[in-house]
Structure 1
Amino acid sequence: MPNIKPVLPASELRKHVATVHVSGELSLLERKIVNVLLLNAFDELLTKKTHKLPVGILCTMLGFDSKNTDALKRALLKVMSTPISFDLLHEGGKSDWDASPLIGYAGIKNGVCSYEYSDWLAKKLANPDIYTLININVQRQFSGGYALALYENCLRFKRTGSTGWISVDTWRRLLGADASMYDEFKHFSSEVIKKAVQEINQVSNIIVTPEYKREARRVVQIRFLVEDNPQRSVYDGSEDEDQRVIRESDAFTRLTALGIGDRLAISWIQQEPERALKTAIYVEERARKKQIKGSAGGYARTVFEKGSDIGMTQVDGEQVRKKKEASAEREKERAREDAADAKAKQTTAAVKALSLDERRALAEAYLADGGRGKTYQQETATFKDAVERTAFTAWLRATISSRANARA
């Protein structure tokens, strides 16, 4: 029988376990980038060398500020320089070893990110013999790099219920916890394992529970029990209904008829529904008049991703007015966000500029106002307990911001 790959929802990625195992070396943003780029390219890994994704869509899928392009470029450089080693967990007892950079090329031009995989790696990624099914919508919920790394490494063991026993040293490599402070297991446990487990159980579609194996009272191996999170619909089920509606839409039907892949069509409609429909109508009309050289799908990608107006002569005045109003509202929202960012930076600077006496006076005002302070240390005007410290910091920022507004 022919090997038929199942059609996956647009938010799910079949990720080769080797790329899961290596990615402990990556930060949270870098790890997310690996997944989003692979999801975008997955259907065309064996048919196209260069893959493209608008930076705006990339950042939305990452849950990342699209204006911070320098951080995005640094993350892409790290991904390019990170090798995959295909024998980290010695799958099946094999002694073979292969390695490859995660991506061979990346570039950003005119608001579009272009990237390439080596031919060898593209073949591996397109037909993974062992893979993990990653939900990009769940990925967006993570705020900690260790948590996302542990999530990916546990996810594929959901059916078997356990990762099996793996040495502490290997877990440190898988999670990227290579700092010397983690040589002591108690620090690795409290700062990496426990915090990662807590985040996974709070924001993802699985529940993980660590178990420890000791030799001479020293922890030498860890395994994680893995089960479905009973609240999983909160994290990845809501998207399914959205995608079902999109798949039934006129824009989706038209785009896929032109040769646009399911994932890409859904991504366009999620980001810019009106533009996606206009693109389909515009390309259909040009195809009908035989004005397209090459494939209609390729032409549609060019039209959509160039970002220019599409067939505005065919759009009535009401649509033009709505588009201008939407554009003006986006500008206002951007201005509000910029103002909020500037205000937050001013508040941070004001907090840092406080003298010890000023900070002590504010801390005492906070306590007098009913703030919790069982671990307050007057000599340093600090709170030893993390929860109390966080609550005081929030109060302090709000107070300083309020004073600044009053002066203005």
Structure 2
Amino acid sequence: MPKLSLHKPSGCARVRVQGKDLYLGPFGDPETLQRYSRLLAELAAQQHQLQVAQANSGQSTPSQDLTISEMILAYLEFATTYYGPRSREPQSMNHALRPLHALYGSTLTQDFGPKSFKAVRQHMIDVHKLSRTEINRRMGRIKRVFKWAVSEELVSPTILHGLSAVSGLRRGRSEAHESRPVRPVDISQIQLTLPFLPPPVAAICQLQLLTGMRPSEVLHMRPCDIDRSGAIWLYTPEHHKTEHLGFEKHVPLGPQAQAVLAPFLNRDPKDYCFTPAEAEAWRNEQRAVHRNPDRKTKIFPCELKARIRRKAKRQAAPKVRQLQPCYDVDAYRRCITYGIRKAQKAGHAVQHWFPYQIRHTHGTEVRRRYGLEAAQVALGHATADVTQVYAERNLKLAMQVAAEIG
């Protein structure tokens, strides 16, 4: 937009618009400023009308020279904003789109048809060795990318229509192997692993076992999210899986869960209860205590001085890895894997298990004791047709379960 300037010989306010000087009156006069504001508004309106006219006069048909790679890039830019930083969907989209980009990145979208789509699927079977259900999920994501491109008039609707004709792989009718269902982990396996985990991670496992929460819900617990006014505490996650559908999530915490959680509430209400920094401090203490527990000779002064020098050198060195304010799901899973390996080295017969199996264990135990409905509400499963009365009854049932076994 043009700026208001002083024409010194005349003392007038001057504005240059499209190479021409316009004089609006005495410089600094209120009426002059009013004329200047009106001029800016008129110029902005003219510019907007010009942009609309250019858009309407442009080509409204899908681009004929758009490549698959360009379409993927445009979609990923959209997905990053649409799903936000907390969603893992953009990462899942990246995995699904890699074979499409590798095989057909330079291909024009108008030349990509059902046979090309099937070739991408076969590549997932032969090269990536993915399971049938995972392949179907990834092929569905690729279809969603083309559907978005059609909605943005980047791709012809006939392309999406052709891809929609390709059905998913059926059980026993393809070369893809079947995925193994997630099974509950035996509670004894969890108990054997707990002593080899840092205290925050061990507490997360115990809370999952007592409440059936998803890993992400436990990892993001904060004192301010927990209502401790009643005998049964009520945890309301700041974010959860179904919040975009309008559902509220409430997790009752019974006496056992309260005892596990209590040592981690002594912090700022908005800080996370379980932090990697506390686990790192615990590991450093364990290193100092268990460096050589079987040593018989005394520690000589030269060894102490060497330890001090090494410690000072470590502290002065720049920190390459910055600890996050809370665990993410991948870090939590890796901690459990390390703990299982330590337990196995110590001679315990521990099989490999992962965090989400704990949720299945809790659901199985609740269903065995209280029935299917109790398991549904304890795990927080919800559907769109659940009424408010039904939700209240479920919350009471979930609090009863928490009081007895949580």
| Higher RCO (CA-CA < 8 Å; seq separation 6+) | 2
Q: Tell me, yes or no, whether TM beats 0.5.
A: no
TM-score tier by shorter-chain length is under 0.3
Q: TM-score, normalised by structure 2?
A: 0.25
Q: TM-score, normalised by structure 1?
A: 0.25
Structure 1 or 2, whichever has the larger Rg, is 2
Q: Which has the higher strand share?
A: 1
